[in-house]
Amino acid sequence: MICQLWKQLAQLGDSPPNPRLGDGFVPQTPSKIIVRFFCWVTSFVVLLSINFLN
């Protein structure tokens, strides 16, 4: 859920595709990398907290 919101925010900040790079090529912008890392860390922390609570 949190990751979906972060992905939507990241997509809003993305620049339009560059036609010179060819169709289907989507470069990894720093915002996407940060969002993916944040989602990974968030899900990892949630899993750890669930394990500790049980």
pLDDT confidence of residue 51: 83
CB 38 within 8 A of CB 6: yes
| Confidence (pTM) | 0.44
Nearest to 29 by CA among 17, 41, 20, 43: 17
1-54 tens-digit pLDDT = 556 665 665 555 555 555 555 555 556 677 777 888 888 889 888 888 888 887
Q: What is the pLDDT of residue 10?
A: 58
